[in-house]
Homo-oligomer: A and B are copies of this chain.
């Protein structure tokens, strides 16, 4: 635990990551099963266009976004730049898939003549999408685009991590609100009769919350944080001497 380049992976970490992935994949499969079994499946040019929305959001803003946060725990011994690029790419994939999901619901509303953006789910959803986009842009400018001073990076890093985790949790909460909305719209009074669709969707909701919890646990375990590597420490020192001579400890 003395740091350095040869730091090994904590023994329990792979099991927790595997569990989180099992949860995440079950989540995606179950969303597909719900839409296929009870909502008629997915098609872009019909009333089934709406169904692209929940599937895209669960894949993009929940599963892929969650996995993007775990990248620094999983690839702990790779070069930091490679891991950063993977983190940024996963977030781009998540955003693009979420954008398809957004287009699906707005297009469906337009064709049906339904109102847009009146519900708490839609307000939270738009907030999540905008925050994700802003977080990506700011993260890119600070950490991938060259030129941000070392002191600024080390000052912004904790904020980036906090807001990343918070936006992810808000995504999970928004998905829960959307699921609930779909259930109440589609099942109505049948929901209280313990219809199979209602029970399946409730289990899906619990799985969503569990996936959020699992990602948060892996992310916050202090002894599972990525160790800073010798090569980076050396680079940081070089960078520091090139910039105004400040240190990350000074924040």
Contacts and interface: CB of A to CB of B under 8 A. Distances in A.
Interface of A: 114-115, 118-121, 123-124, 127, 158, 162, 166, 169-170, 172-173, 176-177, 179-181, 183-185, 191-194, 198, 201-202, 205-206, 209, 213, 216-217, 220-222
Given A124-B209, A202-B119, A206-B123, A221 B158 contact: yes
A124 B166 contact: no
Nearest to A190: B118
A244 to B, nearest CB: 22
Contact of A183 (B120, B127, B206, B220): B120
A162 B217 contact: yes
The SS class assigned to the A binding surface is helix
A205 B123 contact: yes
A169 B166 CA distance: 10
Given A162-B217, A221-B158, A209 B121 contact: no
Which has the most chain B C-beta neighbours within 10 Å: A127, A162, A176? A176
